[in-house]
């Protein structure tokens, strides 16, 4: 974009440009689109942006994004507590919910193990998962832990780490660990998978 643009216009273009998947051309188009909008529309945009700045927190139980202590899934009556699906991020929850096939709970790790980037177990919500499973153990309830990390090297390594870590519960027959698999190509992202493929992967999960 031209350096002769008024500063506020250039600032907005730059802000759009920093978003993933938005090049400078698209950033300019979005900015000029907003410039032509009514004040009402622009204010709605500002309010929406402001809304994600405050009042959002990770769900106390599962780590999913939420505007209340417990997220929408954890609050939903009728979800079966004996299934916990372990995912990397909130977008994976949305993708799995779209399949309309899964009625258990989730655990959102907040990433995957990646020693090269300094991300170890303590940087993810693994202790929170441990606490959840310990609580289930106290009431001797059987739980299925479904590993739905992405089919990437880090995603596999994270699923393997968790499987090892929770082996004592498996030995006690309090836990079954499964991995969604079929249909998801190596290196693909769960959040972008189409609902049919994801539903098939969920149905075809294997014991770990």
Binding site for Zn ion (CB under 5 A): 59, 61-62, 64, 71, 74
User: How far apart are CB 95 and Zn ion at their closest, in Å?
Assistant: 16
In the bound state with Zn ion, the residue whose beta carbon lies nearer, of 13 and 126, is: 126
Instruction: Report the first-to-last Cα separation within the chain, whole angstroms.
Output: 53
Q: From the CB of 78, what's the least distance to Zn ion, in Å?
A: 15
Q: How far is the CB of 126 from Zn ion (least distance, A)?
A: 16
Strand 206-207 relative to strand 143-147: parallel, antiparallel, unpaired?
unpaired
In this complex, which beta carbon is closest to Zn ion, that of residue 23 or of residue 55?
Answer: 55
Q: Length of the chain in residues, anyone? A: 208
Between 83 and 160, whose beta carbon lies closer to Zn ion? 83
Closest separation between CB of residue 64 and Zn ion, Å?
A: 4
Half-sphere exposure of 12 (CA within 13 A, CB side): 16
Query: Among residues 61 and 149, whose Cβ is nearest to Zn ion?
Result: 61
Least distance in Å: CB of 11 to Zn ion?
A: 36
β 80-87/143-147 pair status: parallel
Closest to Zn ion by CB, 31 vs 61, is: 61
Task: Enumerate long-range contacts of 124-133, CB under 8 Å, 24 or more apart.
Answer: 124/158, 125/58, 125/63, 126/162, 126/165, 128/63, 129/84, 129/86, 129/162, 130/165, 130/166, 132/61, 132/62, 132/84, 132/107, 133/84, 133/166, 133/169, 133/175
């Amino acid at each position: 974009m031209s350096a002769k643009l008024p500063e506020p216009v250039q600032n907005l273009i730059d802000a759009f440009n920093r978003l993933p998947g938005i090049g400078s051309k698209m950033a300019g188009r979005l900015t000029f689109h907003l410039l032509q909008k009514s004040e009402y529309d622009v204010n709605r945009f500002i309010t929406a942006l402001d809304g994600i700045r405050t009042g959002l927190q990770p769900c106390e139980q599962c780590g999913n994004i939420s505007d209340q202590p417990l997220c929408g899934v954890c609050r939903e009556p009728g979800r079966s507590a004996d299934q916990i699906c372990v995912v990397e991020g909130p977008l994976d929850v949305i993708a799995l919910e779209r399949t309309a096939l899964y009625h258990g709970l989730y655990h959102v790790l907040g990433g995957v193990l990646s020693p090269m980037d300094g991300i170890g177990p303590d940087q993810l919500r693994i202790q929170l998962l441990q606490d959840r499973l310990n609580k289930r153990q106290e009431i001797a309830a059987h739980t299925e832990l479904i590993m739905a990390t992405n089919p990437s090297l880090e995603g596999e390594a994270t699923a393997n780490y968790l499987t090892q870590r929770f082996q004592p519960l498996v030995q006690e027959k309090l836990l079954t660990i499964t991995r969604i698999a079929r249909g998801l190509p190596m290196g693909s992202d769960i959040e972008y998978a189409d609902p049919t493929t994801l539903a098939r992967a969920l149905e075809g999960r294997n014991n770990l």
